Amino acid sequence: MVGKRVFTLLVVLLTASCIVNADTVYTFTPDSGDLNDLDHHRAYVWGIDVPLDQGETAIAASLTFHQIRNWNNNANVLYNHLLDWTELGEQEIVDNQGGGDYFETAFIGPHSHLVTYENLTTEPLDLVYEFTQNDLASLNAYLADGRIGLGFDPDCHFYNTGVDFTLTTPEPGSLGLLVSGMFLLLRRGKA
């Protein structure tokens, strides 16, 4: 009888440990898919509604450019920013700077720099930027109103097959399931 209870307890604990590690992953893509291939003469703002529950926070996030490449082998730069509240969807802004980061010189509103890519070649590659702890702190602060934005300033023309933003949150209530399961098991053992 004791052996059966120990076995049952081990099964519950293993199952609960799997449940506790079941995070929720949200993936977002812009309506155009590729942000219109990131033209040199534009800056791009992508506003995203994030459906988080009250008190839910991001524990990881990433920004991915699929099969991105420069249109030629000239020097090039791609600036990437996290923005506080922006209009929902995609916006293209005429960028007449001829170079430099639009979001550092002309953008009005809270934002933080994520990453700058330089001298991409004509060979397509997947670029994945994983948010740092500082980036996640800014992301969670910006998420207080449920919407964030991403800003891109291409200083050249970049072809790509798609852009994704991925956000991960811990599974709510999974710890509660673990505790409930343990309580029921202990209670059953006393009966």
Confidence check: pLDDT of 124 > 70: yes
How far is 29 from 11, CA to CA, in rounded Å? 39
Give dist(CA 13, CA 182) in Å, integer.
Answer: 8
pLDDT band, residue 69 (cuts 50/70/90): very high
Number of domains forming the structure of the chain: 2
Instruction: Judge if 57 and 9 occupy the same domain.
Output: no
Q: Which pairing describes strands 147-155 and 60-70: parallel, antiparallel, or unpaired?
A: unpaired
Question: Picking from 5-19, 86-100, 113-127, 163-177, which range would have the lowest pLDDT averaged per residue?
Answer: 5-19
Q: Does the pLDDT of residue 177 top 60, yes or no?
A: no
Same domain for 191 and 152: no
Asked if residue 141 and residue 181 are part of one domain, the reply reads no
Q: Are residues 13 and 43 in the same domain?
A: no
Measured over the CA atoms of residue 59, residue 165, residue 31 and residue 22, the dihedral's sign is negative
* Two structure tokens written together for 160: 């790509």
Residues 116 and 186 in one domain: no
Q: How far apart are CA 92 and CA 49, in angstroms?
A: 18
pLDDT of residue 43: 95
Q: Average pLDDT, stretch 151-160?
A: 96
Question: Residue 154's pLDDT is what?
Answer: 96
Kindly report the pTM of this predicted structure.
0.80
Give φ, ψ of 105 to 5 degrees: -110, -30
Average pLDDT for residues 155-164, to the nearest whole number?
96
Rounded to whole angstroms, the Cα distance separating 139 from 131 reads 9
Clarify whether residues 98 and 181 are in a common domain: no
Shared domain check, 180 and 139: no
Do 1 and 76 have their domain in common? no
14 and 27 fall within a common domain: no
Same domain, 161 and 177: no
Give the CATH number for residue 45. 2.60.120
| Residue 16 lies in domain | 1-22+173-191
134 vs 53, which has greater pLDDT? 134
Residues 96 and 139 in one domain: yes
Q: Please tell me whether residues 27 and 44 are part of one structural domain.
A: yes
Per the CB < 8 A criterion, the answer to whether 171 and 16 are in contact is no
| pLDDT (tens digit per residue) in 15-39 | 444 455 589 999 999 999 999 999 9
